[in-house]
Amino acid sequence: MNDHSIIQDISLTPDCNITGHTNNNDFTSTTSQPSFRTVIKLIEGSLLNPAIDNPEITLRTGFINTMPNQQSISHTLLKIQKDWGVTLDEKQVLAYDIICCTFLIDVLRECSGNHLLKSIADVINHPTDLSDERRIHEKLKARGGEDNLRMFLTGPAGAGKTTAIKAAQKYCHEFCQVSGVFFSDSTFLFTAYIGSAASMCGGKTILKTAGLQPNGKCGCLKQEILNQWTGVRILIIDEISFMNDEQLLSLNQRLQQIKDDPSKPYGGMSIIFAGDFRQLLPGNATNKSVLFSTANSRHFENTLNVALILENEHRFKDCPAYGKLLKEFWYDDLSLNAKTWINKRVVRGNKMKLPSIMPERSCYACPTNIERNAISSLNFSEHLFRNTW
Q: Considering the domain boundaries, does residue 9 fall inside one?
A: no
Q: Helix (H, G, I), strand (E, B), or coil: what is residue 38?
A: helix
pLDDT class of 50 with cuts at 50, 70, 90: very low
Helices (H), 120-222: 120-125, 128-142, 161-179, 195-200, 206-209
Mean pLDDT of 259-268: 93
Q: Considering the domain boundaries, does residue 3 fall inside one?
A: no
* pLDDT, averaged across the chain: 76
pLDDT in tens, 24-33: 345 555 445 5
Question: Does residue 200 sit in the same domain as residue 103?
Answer: yes
Question: Taking 50 as the threshold, does the pLDDT of residue 164 lie above it?
Answer: yes
Q: Which helix (H) or strand (E) holds 29?
A: strand 29-31
What pLDDT is recorded for position 173? 93
Mean pLDDT of 77-82: 90
Mean pLDDT of 87-98: 93
Tally of structural domains, the chain: 3
pLDDT class of 53 with cuts at 50, 70, 90: very low
Q: Considering the domain boundaries, does residue 213 fall inside one?
A: yes
Question: Taking 50 as the threshold, does the pLDDT of residue 345 lie above it?
Answer: yes
Question: Does residue 135 sit in the same domain as residue 200?
Answer: yes
Q: Considering the domain boundaries, does residue 171 fall inside one?
A: yes
Question: Does residue 337 sit in the same domain as residue 204?
Answer: no
Neighbouring CB atoms inside 10 A of 77's CB total: 21
Question: Does residue 342 sit in the same domain as residue 369?
Answer: no
pLDDT class of 37 with cuts at 50, 70, 90: confident
Q: Considering the domain boundaries, does residue 74 fall inside one?
A: yes
What pLDDT is recorded for position 318? 72
Q: Considering the domain boundaries, does residue 13 fall inside one?
A: no
Phi and psi torsions of 318, nearest 5°: -85, -10
What pLDDT is recorded for position 309? 92
pLDDT in tens, 2-11: 343 333 333 3
C-alpha–C-alpha distance, residues 48 and 31, integer Å: 25
Distances in whole angstroms, Cα of residue 276 to Cα of each of 120, 188, 237, 321: 50, 21, 12, 21
Which segment, 23-27, 44-48, 314-318, is predicted with the most confidence on average? 44-48
Question: Does residue 246 sit in the same domain as residue 330?
Answer: no
* 109-118, 137-146, 374-383: range with lowest mean pLDDT: 109-118
Q: Considering the domain boundaries, does residue 1 fall inside one?
A: no
Question: Does residue 97 sit in the same domain as residue 160?
Answer: yes
pLDDT in tens, 186-224: 999 999 888 767 766 667 889 989 988 877 777 788 888
Which segment, 9-13, 18-22, 128-132, 155-159, is predicted with the most confidence on average? 155-159
Question: Does residue 328 sit in the same domain as residue 307?
Answer: no
Question: Taking 80 as the threshold, does the pLDDT of residue 168 lie above it?
Answer: yes
Question: Does residue 260 sit in the same domain as residue 369?
Answer: no
Q: Which range marks the domain in which residue 65 is found? A: 20-314
Question: Taking 50 as the threshold, does the pLDDT of residue 342 lie above it?
Answer: yes
Which segment, 37-41, 263-267, 369-373, is predicted with the most confidence on average? 263-267
Q: Considering the domain boundaries, does residue 2 fall inside one?
A: no
Question: Does residue 267 sit in the same domain as residue 347?
Answer: no
Question: Does residue 227 sit in the same domain as residue 110?
Answer: yes
Question: Does residue 330 sit in the same domain as residue 296?
Answer: no
Question: Does residue 324 sit in the same domain as residue 266?
Answer: no
